A and B are shown apart, each in its own frame.
Chain A
Amino acid sequence: MIKFPKISRADRPIEFSVVAFLVVTLLVTVIPLWYVLMISFTPLGSSPKLLALPWEWSFRAYQELLAQPALVRAGLNSIILTVGGVLISLTMTVLTAYPLSRKDLPFRGFFTGMILFTFLFSAGLIPNYLVIRDLGLLNTYWAILLNGAVSVYNLFVMKSFFQNLPESLEEAAKIDGATDLQVLWHIVLPLSRPILMTIGLFYAVTNWNAFFEPILFLSDRNMMPLPVALRDILLGLNNAEYVESTANQVASSDALKMAAVVITTIPMLAIYPWIQRYFTQGVLLGGVKE
Chain B
Amino acid sequence: MNANVVIRRGAKPKTQPVLARVWRARMLFLMLLPGLLYFVLFRYLPLLNAQIAFKDFQPTLGVWGSPWIGFQHFLSFFNSFYFSQLMTNTLIISVLKLVIGIPPAIILAIAIHESSFKRLGRLVQTATYLPHFLSWVIVFGVLLAMLSPSEGLINKGIVSTGADPIGFLTDPNYFRWVAIFSDIWKETGWSAILYLAALIGISPDLYEAAQMDGATRWQRIRFISLPGLLDVIILVTLLRLGHILDAGFGQIFILYSLPVYSVADIIDTWVYRQGIQNFEFGMATAVGLFKGLIGLLLIVTANRIARRFGDRGLY
Chain A contact residues, CB within 8 Å of chain B = 2, 5, 7-8, 10-11, 14-15, 18-19, 21-23, 25-26, 28-30, 32-33, 35-36, 39, 50, 92-93, 95-96, 98-100, 102-106, 109, 111-128, 130-131, 134-135, 146-147, 149-150, 152-153, 155-157, 160-161, 163-164, 167-168, 171-172, 174-175, 179-181, 184, 194-195, 197-198, 201, 205, 209, 254, 257-258, 261, 264-265, 268-269, 272-273, 276, 279-285
Contacts and interface: CB of A to CB of B under 8 A. Distances in A.
B212 interface: no
B33 to A, nearest CB: 8
A269 B126 contact: yes
20 contacts: A18-B111, A23-B120, A26-B124, A33-B130, A33-B131, A35-B145, A95-B34, A99-B25, A99-B31, A104-B10, A106-B18, A122-B43, A124-B284, A127-B46, A130-B49, A180-B31, A257-B138, A258-B138, A264-B133, A272-B129
Contacts of A198: 193-194, 197
Given A11-B217, A18-B115, A114-B39, A106 B25 contact: yes
A95 B35 contact: yes
Nearest to A99: B28
Contacts of A268: 133
A31 B108 CA distance: 18
Given A106-B18, A121-B50, A127-B46, 11 more contacts: A5-B116, A22-B115, A29-B131, A29-B189, A99-B29, A105-B25, A120-B243, A161-B197, A179-B27, A180-B31, A265-B134
- Per CB-CB distance, the 4 closest pairs between chain A and chain B, nearest first, are A96-B35, A127-B49, A123-B46, A121-B292
B89 interface: no
B288 A124 contact: yes
Interface string B265-289: 0000000000010000100110011
Contacts of A195: 197, 201
Interface stretch (B1-9, B78-86, B170-178): B1-9
B128 A25 contact: yes
Nearest to A20: B111
Nearest to B153: A50
B126 A273 contact: yes
A150 B41 CA distance: 12
Contacts of B42: 128, 131, 146-147, 149
B312 A205 contact: no
B314 A156 contact: yes
A138 B39 CA distance: 19
Contact of B285 (A120, A123, A156, A282): A123
A111 B239 contact: no
Nearest to B123: A26
A6 to B, nearest CB: 9
Chain A CB within 10 Å — which of B7, B18, B24, B31 has the most? Answer: B31
Nearest to B138: A261
Contacts of A14: 114, 216-218, 221
Contacts of B197: 161, 194-195, 197-198, 279
Interface in B191-245: 193-194, 196-198, 200-201, 203-205, 216-218, 221, 231-232, 235-236, 239, 242-243
Nearest to B303: A116
Nearest to A198: B197
A92 B34 contact: yes
Contacts of B11: 103
Contacts of B205: 284
Contacts of A152: 239
Interface residues of B, number: 104
Interface in B92-119: 107-108, 111-112, 114-119
Contact of A123 (B22, B47, B126, B135): B47
Nearest to A272: B126
A235 to B, nearest CB: 12
Nearest to B279: A126
Nearest to A166: B203
Contacts of A95: 31-32, 34-35
A22 B121 contact: yes
Nearest to A171: B3
B13 A120 contact: no
A103 B10 contact: yes
Contacts of A7: 116
Nearest to B13: A104
Contacts of A283: 200-201
A205 B299 CA distance: 27
B142 A29 contact: no
A113 to B, nearest CB: 6
A98 B33 CA distance: 12
